[in-house]
Structure 1
Amino acid sequence: MRNLYTLIFKRKEDVMTMEKMLQEICIDIKQSVLDKKSVLKIIAHLAAKNPILQKYSEEKIYKSLQTREKLGSTGFSNQIAIPHCAMEGISDFILGILVVSEGVEFDSLDKKLTKIFVFIIAPSSHKTQHLRILSTISNYLRNQDNINKLLLANSSNAIRETFLRHTLDKEKLEKQNIYQLFQVVVQNDDKYEQYFEEILDIFTSIEDCNFYIVEAENASKYLYKMPLFSMFWHENQPQQNRVVTAIVRNSFVNDTAKKLNMIIEKNQTNPGLLYFVQDIYYLNGSLNI
């Protein structure tokens, strides 16, 4: 065990639901937009309509978004972007959606035009919740069917209803005190790097999910040193694993397993991904981020 990284997402009773975060006044449809700067200006204008930001000018919101973009574009592949920033002095999150029907250049990963912008203005003191919301939205937008439905929506209300209908409203889930333990092993190989990121997205988006990542060694590192088995491996062969251990509420187990199975099915012919689930009979305490 070499390095231990810890991420914790602990439920708080005052956390807003997606339904409260996403107000219709912060949603708009444009046929076309000139450029990236114009997109950020429109987003700042939409965000400023929310009373939570009444003390902030559109220009200040725009500059916060622009500062975040300078760290790296929030434009992804497949016509989507998730512009976001954190601001001092606000108490809750603001979500909004801008749809640009003809698309606009937004420095996307695939170099194609971006059409859907789901934006977040977050309290700077709520980093953990900010991360969880980002991952929830990212998971939602991975589904092409969800993207298509947003593009077909013809009004702000329709966009909001479409988004909320397919976004898990975790506050309405029945409270359960039953948890299960997931362990996901990812062999440290370049071809699995993207899948490791997808696995992190899965657990990051789960409410009340404690998880940590441990770097471990392949058994081959030790078997290689035994004369009986040394012929099967060479000394420079990659020998590291990353083990994700997550405590997941029972109500999320089936959905989590389904998502992990989809990743594994992409790699049926290449071993290197494995997970299992165990019952937890006793659980106490929590972890800090």
Structure 2
Amino acid sequence: MNIIDALDRNCIRIDAKPSTKEDVLRAITYLAKRSPLLEEMSEVEILERLTDREVLSSTGFLKGVAIPHCRIPGLKQFLLGLLMVPDGVPFDSFDGESSRYFFFILAPEEERDVHVQILSSLSLTFKQEENLKLLDLCKNKRELYEKVVELFGQTTLVSKGPSCLFNIILQVDNIRSELIRLLSQISGGQVAVINDTLIQAVVNKNLVNETIRRIDLLKKQNAVEKGLLVTVQDLIYQTGGLYF
């Protein structure tokens, strides 16, 4: 599936002015309902799904980017949209900064692997500040849509600053998908699922403690005491990248 196929030009807004996280989720819900894919689902149900996902862990990323997402029962295709908030709004982001760019994903319940790939692609493309500056130059939603489409064709893996390698060995399945999503967001897409039990991720060294904290929170929320081993090591050298 081409990720651009999921981007609905009717689900884009360039000048939103929410003041709270709850306002953002309501604005995203309103935008999402413009898609015919959700014509049989109420705004109340969509908002509830988005809110429940935020309760698990914040989808606020870095550099003003957030990627709210949830799975929707019965949805046949992925829906991707973008809400821009020029003044920013607090969204419990990893770096503590206000979020301005809200890429949202509504996903079919059974398409978990593709869901993770879309998250990775978004994180990878828009962790680069030069790409975000290009979005700021757009004057209307048509220009914004065209710029996002263009940028997705220019995605490259860029690692800035010292990094660490997370090795995660899993013997339980109940947090696998959420763990991959978390690592995809933090690492900017540099995640490899080696097999059913081993996941590796390259994470900026400044985010190692936050990553560990969020993994511990995920374990606590899912009552995981054993069956998960996390090791972290410094990366002396890194080049190239992986396909997702």
Both proteins in one fold, TM over 0.5:
yes
Q: Deviations over 1:116-157 (max 9, x none)?
A: 000000001100000000000000111111111112212111
From 5, 29, 47, the counterpart of 2:14: 29
Corresponding residue number in structure 2 for 1:120: 105
Instruction: Rate the CA distance shift 1:35–1:126 in 2: closer, same or farther, 3 A.
Output: same
Q: Distance between the aligned counterparts of 1:121 and 1:243, measured in 2?
A: 26
- Residues 32-71 of structure 1 aligned to structure 2 (within 5 Å): 32-71=17-56
Corresponding residue number in structure 1 for 2:124: 139
Q: Distance between the aligned counterparts of 1:51 and 1:21, measured in 2?
A: 12
Cα pair 1:18 1:164 within 8 Å, conserved: no
Cα pair 1:75 1:108 within 8 Å, conserved: yes
Cα offset for 1:61? 0.5
- Residues 278-289 of structure 1 aligned to structure 2 (within 5 Å): none
Give the length in aligned residue pairs. 189
For CA contacts below 8 A with separation 6 or more, give which structure has more relative contact order. 1
4+ runs of 1 displaced by more than 6 Å? none
Q: Distance between the aligned counterparts of 1:46 and 1:31, measured in 2?
A: 11
Corresponding residue number in structure 1 for 2:189: 201
TM-score (norm 1): 0.58
Instruction: Rate the CA distance shift 1:107–1:272 in 2: closer, same or farther, 3 A.
Output: closer
- Residues 80-99 of structure 1 aligned to structure 2 (within 5 Å): 80-99=65-84
From 129, 136, 139, the counterpart of 2:114: 129
Describe the SS at the equivalent of 1:46. Answer: helix
Cα offset for 1:194? 7.1
Which one-letter code corresponds to 1:71 in the other structure? Answer: L
Cα offset for 1:107? 1.2
Cα pair 2:16 2:83 within 8 Å, conserved: no
From 133, 150, 160, the counterpart of 1:148: 133
Q: Deviations over 1:41-97 (max 9, x none)?
A: 010111111111111011111110000000011011211100000011011000000
For structure 1, the residue ranges without an aligned partner over 5 or more in a row are 1-14, 171-189, 205-209, 216-241, 245-259, 264-269, 278-289
Cα pair 1:27 1:97 within 8 Å, conserved: yes
Q: Distance between the aligned counterparts of 1:37 and 1:243, measured in 2?
A: 33
From 73, 78, 86, the counterpart of 2:58: 73
Which one-letter code corresponds to 1:152 in the other structure? Answer: L
Q: Distance between the aligned counterparts of 1:100 and 1:276, measured in 2?
A: 35
From 146, 149, 160, the counterpart of 1:164: 149
Q: Distance between the aligned counterparts of 1:24 and 1:80, measured in 2?
A: 19
Q: Distance between the aligned counterparts of 2:97 and 2:239, measured in 1?
A: 38
Q: Deviations over 1:11-67 (max 9, x none)?
A: xxxx3x223211111000225212110100010111111111111011111110000
Q: Radius of gyration: which is bigger?
A: 1
Q: Distance between the aligned counterparts of 1:32 and 1:121, measured in 2?
A: 22
TM-score (norm 2): 0.67
Cα pair 1:18 1:169 within 8 Å, conserved: no
For structure 2, the residue ranges without an aligned partner over 5 or more in a row are 156-161, 169-182, 205-232
Cα offset for 1:211? 3.9
Cα pair 1:213 1:243 within 8 Å, conserved: no
Cα offset for 1:193? 4.3
Describe the SS at the equivalent of 1:74. Answer: coil
Instruction: Rate the CA distance shift 1:153–1:45 in 2: closer, same or farther, 3 A.
Output: same
Q: Distance between the aligned counterparts of 2:140 and 2:26, measured in 1?
A: 20
